[in-house]
Copies of this chain bind each other. A is one copy, B any other.
Amino acid sequence: MAVFTRVSEADIAAWLSNYSLGTLIELQGIPAGIENTNYFVTTSNGRFVLTLFEKLTSDDLPFFLNLMAHLARHGIPCPCPVADKQNHFLGKLNDKPACIVSRLSGKSVTQPNTAQCAAVGAMLGQMHSAGQSFGDQMLNPRGSSWRAEAANKVKRFLPAQDAALLESEVALHAANPLNGLPRGIIHADLFRDNVLMDGEHVGGLIDFYFACTGNLLYDVAITVNDWCMTPEGKLDATHTRAMLNAYHAARPFTAREAEAWPMALRVAALRFWISRLYDLYLPREGEMVHPHNPEQFKRILQNHIATPQPAWL
């Protein structure tokens, strides 16, 4: 349940009076999501989503809200923040930073088909292209130093073999950062549950709160590692090829990126193995969700190490 802060119809009606969105028709809590409180808000102007930020602060939020507005301005289907009468995206509701964004059509899929993998690859390429003209920067909060620090904290919970794998991978990627690759805005969390599919079209990319500046290739690797993975933690060749071909059509890999692809897949798998270990063994106080099993990403990492994957150029 992801309504951490309750919002009444009276609360939202009063809040909406500072917007040009008309009158409230319906308010409905959204059970999904683990970081924020979300409600569907239908007004006489249309369908929106209200978000109350439970952890992110008013200092962090302008980057994310301005990024979503920028991408929407370039025709990327993503939640577009609505400005209030003072022309601000960010407000405050029930003592939490809050904003209201456009609601997109579609729903997330758990078992994407080849066409859907291709559509997501193409849209990721468009998003990277549109992000090139975004002026702000954000350090990756899950980058090399976070990996080292978090791995250090969780390794004591692991069997010796896993701890050794974790340490050696962290050290390997720290010593061999993927420098000199095309950089820009990356979503950094484009898993299946963060894409709304409308049949075989992408209805929306959502949840930009891990977005940051980074290697575009790393973002592709994160996406492929989720969308194109078999239950055994191996890449499905047909799905991977479809996603990468569609991505290449929007933004072709450079030769250096094609070469770096196997390492990008490894470091992307490592990042999620670590965060899932962390969420499992060191949950934050008051955490309300069941953590994902870290084993899947350990398997993915092991498979990427055993069998380096081609970039299908």
| Chain B residues within 8 Å of A202, by CB | 45
> A21 near B73 (CB under 8 angstroms)?
no
A130 within 8 A of B: yes
> A73 near B77 (CB under 8 angstroms)?
no
> A126 near B74 (CB under 8 angstroms)?
no
Q: Determine the distance from Cα of A87 to Cα of B123 in the docked complex, in whole angstroms.
A: 18
> A75 near B44 (CB under 8 angstroms)?
no
Proximity bits, A193-204, B CB within 8 Å = 1, else 0: 000000001100
> A75 near B19 (CB under 8 angstroms)?
yes
Proximity bits, A69-88, B CB within 8 Å = 1, else 0: 10011111100101111110
Within 8 A of B (CB), among A8-44: 19-23, 43-44
CB distance from A130 to the nearest CB of B (A): 4
Q: Which residue of the partner chain, among B44, B69, B250, contacts A201 with CB atoms under 8 Å?
A: B44
Q: Determine the distance from Cα of A250 to Cα of B135 in the docked complex, in whole angstroms.
A: 36
| Chain B residues within 8 Å of A82, by CB | 73-75
Q: Determine the distance from Cα of A100 to Cα of B74 in the docked complex, in whole angstroms.
A: 10
A171 within 8 A of B: no
Count of chain A residues near B, Cβ 8 A? 39
Q: Which residue of the partner chain, among B48, B75, B83, B133, contacts A21 with CB atoms under 8 Å?
A: B75
Within 8 A of B (CB), among A58-73: 69, 72-73
Q: Determine the distance from Cα of A161 to Cα of B192 in the docked complex, in whole angstroms.
A: 72
> A127 near B75 (CB under 8 angstroms)?
no
Which residue of the partner chain B has the closest CB to A249? Answer: B23
| Chain B residues within 8 Å of A19, by CB | 74-75
| Chain B residues within 8 Å of A74, by CB | 19-21, 82-84
A129 within 8 A of B: yes
A98 within 8 A of B: no
Q: Determine the distance from Cα of A84 to Cα of B22 in the docked complex, in whole angstroms.
A: 31
> B133 near A86 (CB under 8 angstroms)?
yes
| Chain B residues within 8 Å of A122, by CB | 22-23, 44
| Chain B residues within 8 Å of A72, by CB | 80
A sample of 18 cross-chain residue pairs with beta-carbon separation below 8 angstroms, ordered by A number, consists of A20-B74, A20-B75, A20-B76, A20-B127, A23-B122, A45-B75, A45-B126, A46-B75, A46-B77, A48-B75, A69-B73, A72-B80, A74-B82, A75-B82, A85-B129, A85-B132, A85-B133, A87-B133
List 5 other contacts, CB 8 Å, given A23-B122, A44-B119, A44-B201: A20-B129, A20-B130, A21-B126, A45-B123, A85-B129
